[in-house]
Structure 1
């Protein structure tokens, strides 16, 4: 099976946050588990949206639905290291786009992972995909 390759231009990233690896994030090999990394990616995504005043599921029932995830692991991370998450949004289309992530170790800058989440806007009341709100596109499409 061919390996996944992810490459993002530096200008794709518009937000940065730091998250600590917790002891409960470790797997049997005593390093950051893939399930924990996915949870941390979700947290970084929510922090980006919150930073811009956006609720993942708005009061009108319109929200963001993750459609796919690709992750490339590049290095291990251990408790209690701090990881730096650079986050951006790319590949806009009528209904959504991609959240992109670069994860590095704070202590030495080594890349731990790269990831991409596809997303669409979803009307939870109507139970269907819906076009991206112009207000969202205007905040991030530049």
Structure 2
């Protein structure tokens, strides 16, 4: 199987936050587990949206749903390192686009991971994909 190779332009990253690697994030190999990293990516995405005044789900039942995920691990991370999560948006289509992430060690800048996940807007009440809300498109696309 071909290896995933991710690369993003620097200017796509418009938000940054830091999170510590918790002891509960460590796996059997004694480093940050992939499941914990994915949870941290979701937290970074939520912080990005909140920083722009956007809630995960709207009153009409419309929210964001993740459609796919790709992660390229670059180095190990350990408890209690502080990680920097840079977040951006790109590759918009009618229904969504991609959240992109660059994760590095805050102290040294050493890359830890690159990731992206596709998303679409989804109306949870109607159980269907819906077009990107115009205010979201105007702000980011």
TM-score range relative to shorter protein: over 0.9
Q: Aligned runs of 1:30-49 on 2, under 5 Å?
A: 30-49=30-49
User: Number of residue pairs matched?
Assistant: 141
Deviation at 1:58, TM superposition (A): 1.1
The list of structure 1 runs, each at least 4 consecutive aligned residues, that deviate by more than 3 angstroms after superposition, is: none
Alpha-carbon distance between aligned partners in 1 of 2:60 and 2:53, rounded to the nearest angstrom: 15
Partner of 1:67: 67
3-state SS in 1 of match to 2:57: coil
Extract unaligned runs of 5+ from structure 2.
none
Partner of 2:19: 19
State the superposition RMSD in angstroms.
0.6
3-state SS in 2 of match to 1:8: coil
Alpha-carbon distance between aligned partners in 2 of 1:49 and 1:106, rounded to the nearest angstrom: 22
Partner of 1:82: 82
3-state SS in 2 of match to 1:115: strand
Alpha-carbon distance between aligned partners in 2 of 1:36 and 1:46, rounded to the nearest angstrom: 15
Alpha-carbon distance between aligned partners in 1 of 2:36 and 2:57, rounded to the nearest angstrom: 23
Q: Aligned runs of 1:1-142 on 2, under 5 Å?
A: 1-141=1-141
Deviation at 1:140, TM superposition (A): 1.1
Extract unaligned runs of 5+ from structure 1.
none
Deviation at 1:35, TM superposition (A): 0.3
